[in-house]
Amino acid sequence: MAPTPTKILVATDFSATAECAERLGIQLARQLGSELHLLHVRVILEDPLMAEEKRLEIERLLSSADDASKSKFDRKLPSEPDLEVTTHLVRSLSAAEAIAETVTDLGCGLVIMGTNGCRGISHLLLGSVAERVVRSVDVPVLTVRSGVELPEVWPKHILVAHDFSEQSSDAVRTAGAWAEALDAELTVLHVVEPVVYPEFYSFNVVDDDVMIRLRDRATEALDESVREILGSHPCNTVVLIGPAADTIVTEADAPSVGLVVMGTRGLSGLEHLVLGSVAEAVLRRCPVPLLTMNRE
């Protein structure tokens, strides 16, 4: 079973959403006994044609901003002696690239970040920092929306989506490791999506009896797959019929669920998140923290 992270990187821009990510990072680091690294990326604009005087003025402003960021870091550091926290202030042309490079340099096994930051965007847009990080890093990324309230014991219940792909199996394996380390209940969910045909066909949906037989077959396959992946680790298995993203989000909204785990690629074999994909749709709307897996 995959290990839990020994080093956690929290990317922050000091927004309200980032504060949720920081609280989540602190709580998770305490529960897992992990090192915690807080990273702020100062995005700079490089213009080779800029006048020297203007360049020096921008450098002065950046230095002042760096000092302000360091002060914010100092105010946010937890005072508990049993939690090891290191802060990092990095300048880069790209926040996502800086985060990915820092993950590699530090050997972090998990990235935590908010899904929207200082720009005030209400949801992820294609090309946003969070989505770029999810696409580019080889470690799990834990995203959280602003306003999420975390209980003292988190999470009590983990929901992991499984579509029988290899990356999905990795997500189930990781969810099992987290459930064991955090003493959480685990549910493995598979969604059977109904097929809708164009109107000029003689029918536009698959017969209900067929969908029920597909669900029964999927239930048997899911139980067998989970046994192969998790062995004797206790968990619940659920097979539901409906649109995949909507079903996962609805199940995540259950009062007991505190974390959703899923891969960013499924049986379709897509190399990255695309607009409208299940992973991105869940990432935008998930009511609880979402752990995405982007491993080969």
The rounded Cα 181 to chain-centroid distance in angstroms is: 18
Task: With a cut of 90, say whether residue 112 has pLDDT above it.
Answer: yes
Mean pLDDT of 92-97: 88
Same domain for 137 and 208? Answer: no
Same domain for 229 and 293? Answer: yes
Q: CA 8 to CA 137: how far, in whole Å?
A: 13
Same domain for 98 and 167? Answer: no
Task: With a cut of 90, say whether residue 82 has pLDDT above it.
Answer: no
Q: Which of 132, 150, 168 is the last residue of a domain?
A: 150
Same domain for 166 and 79? Answer: no
Q: CA 259 to CA 31: how far, in whole Å?
A: 15
Confidence band (pLDDT; 50, 70, 90) for 290? Answer: very high
Q: CA 256 to CA 269: how far, in whole Å?
A: 32
Q: CA 1 to CA 187: how far, in whole Å?
A: 16
Same domain for 8 and 126? Answer: yes
Domain holding 120, by residue range, is 1-150
Same domain for 158 and 212? Answer: yes
Hey, how many other C-beta atoms are within 10 angstroms of the C-beta on 150?
17
Bigger pLDDT: 296 vs 148: 148
Mean pLDDT of 66-74: 56
How many domains does one find in the chain?
2
What is the overall mean pLDDT for the chain? 81
Same domain for 52 and 191? Answer: no
Same domain for 91 and 207? Answer: no
Q: Which of 129, 150, 171 is the last residue of a domain?
A: 150
Same domain for 86 and 159? Answer: no
Q: Which of 150, 169, 199 is the last residue of a domain?
A: 150
Same domain for 195 and 293? Answer: yes
CB 37 within 8 A of CB 88: yes
Same domain for 79 and 97? Answer: yes
Which of 31-35, 128-132, 200-204 tops mean pLDDT? 31-35
Which pTM was predicted? 0.81
CA atoms within 13 A on the CB side of 166: 5
Same domain for 136 and 173? Answer: no
Residue with tokens 């969604």: 191
- The CATH number that applies at residue 135 is 3.40.50.620
